[in-house]
Amino acid sequence: MDFKSGFVAIVGRTNVGKSTLLNKIIGQKIVITSDKPQTTRQRIKGVYTNEQGQIIFVDTPGVHKPKYKLGEFLAEETKTALPDADVVLFVVDGSVPAGSGDKWIADNLLCDVQKIIVAINKIDLVKDLQKREENIETYKALFKQKINMLKISAKTGRNLDTLLNNIMRYFPTGPKYYAEDEITDQNLRLISKEIIREKVLLLTEEEIPHSCAVVINKFEETPKIIKIQATIHVEHDSQKGIIIGKKGTMLKNIGTFAREEIENLVENKVFLELFVKVSKNWRKNKSLLKDFGYAQD
């Protein structure tokens, strides 16, 4: 049997379950998740390999209308992933009808794409079978041509085997781009940075998520311990106060949860030191965006 390989760009609105889906397919957490929009900020590759072939998934930021330079960067990250993709996986929230954001993606990003699979996620949340079908019809109506649509659950893993088989059918015979034990292109430094940001998203108020960036200042790895020093950047003094918390309790909790997850990942002891800094309007500042890692290659 010929070995197949190819690239799949995962696109969709914010909060439809793209990162949850990728983590489920890979079988390990490689992308942070939360219920906050714009959780994913950069393209992250996840590698799935079996006897038939290798699928390199490219998780992209959720598509939304940019309001800042950061938003423009996120939109560009998604657009950049499409031309090199063998297949585009359009993930939608089947618990609700198609919205204006889904239509914009179909009309503007997918209009010239030939190989599209629509993964209808969260459809199991709708108990009324007629309502389910009505929702699905609204997604079919986004396309003039007949589209391959699959009902899935990123949370439970429902129909993911069928999804993977459908993707493989589109692939040509190709090389093994990554070794079988490789599951992502992210190094430990980048993964640690994202884990810290995830804990900020999960533990802090609504106004913090979009205004938060994490920079790793120092990363030292030895056989016995990994020492990480990181700075959490926010835009306002009030946000700094929220992240530090009363008597430093919030920052301590963020550090504890992040350290424990990094330790579980690397199976080694981790010393994590966190700082908080106000970098006013960093989302609008090209220079700071570049310093924080949000710049196109």
Average of pLDDT values for 269-289? Answer: 92
- Rounded to two decimals, what is the model's pTM? 0.77
The whole-angstrom separation of Cα 149 and Cα 256 is 42
Average of pLDDT values for 4-25? Answer: 91
- Quick one: tokens of 2? 């010929």
pLDDT digits (tens, 9 = 90+) for 212-240: 899 999 999 998 999 999 999 999 999 99
Q: Which of 126, 272, 146, 120 lies closest to 199, judged by CA? A: 272
Answer yes or no: is pLDDT of 77 > 80: no
Answer yes or no: is pLDDT of 81 > 70: no
Average of pLDDT values for 264-270? Answer: 89
pLDDT digits (tens, 9 = 90+) for 51-76: 999 999 988 766 645 555 555 555 56
pLDDT digits (tens, 9 = 90+) for 156-209: 999 999 999 999 999 999 999 999 888 888 788 888 998 998 899 889 866 666
